[in-house]
């Protein structure tokens, strides 16, 4: 006799999708454009209003450059403190700059951090 496995809650997978998207510095619209769907569908997947098919999971994994097991990692926890999407976008922009400019910007950031932690 087969024992049925309980289904994975769609909302948990959607929440993981949203967290991964945000960690990559992408908006729902940007992710939707990468996959070729509209932003509303991304929202529906992230909130669990729509269940993700294997095909859509594969598309999201390719667009986000992460393995599919990332979506199913049951030990995954939503961070207590969310990283600012604006901060992630700025860090991605800095990371894309030439090394000599990046080094200079990071020195300025380090000086600012030291000045604000000593006060």
Q: Please state the domain extents for the chain.
A: 1-78, 84-119
Q: What is the CATH topology of the domain spanning 1-78? A: 434 Repressor (Amino-terminal Domain) (1.10.260)
- CA distances, 95 to each of 4, 10, 87 (Å): 47, 34, 12
Higher pLDDT, 40 or 110: 40
Whether 9 has a pLDDT exceeding 80, the answer reads no
Please tell me whether the overall predicted TM-score, pTM, comes out greater than 0.85 for this model: no
Confidence category of residue 44, pLDDT binned at 50, 70, 90: very high
pLDDT greater than 90 at residue 80: no
> Cα(first)–Cα(last) distance of the chain, in Å?
68
Half-sphere exposure for 70 (CA within 13 Å, toward CB):
19
């Amino acid at each position: 006799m087969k024992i049925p496995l309980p289904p994975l809650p769609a909302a948990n997978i959607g929440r993981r999708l949203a967290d991964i998207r945000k960690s990559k510095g992408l908006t729902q619209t940007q992710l939707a454009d990468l996959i070729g769907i509209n932003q509303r569908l991304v929202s529906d997947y992230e909130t669990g209003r729509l269940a993700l098919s294997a095909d859509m999971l594969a598309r999201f994994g390719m667009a986000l450059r992460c393995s599919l097991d990332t979506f199913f990692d049951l030990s995954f926890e939503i961070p207590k403190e969310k990283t600012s999407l604006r901060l992630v976008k700025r860090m991605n922009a800095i990371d894309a700059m030439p090394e000599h400019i990046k080094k200079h910007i990071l020195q300025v950031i380090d000086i600012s951090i030291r000045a604000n932690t000593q006060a």
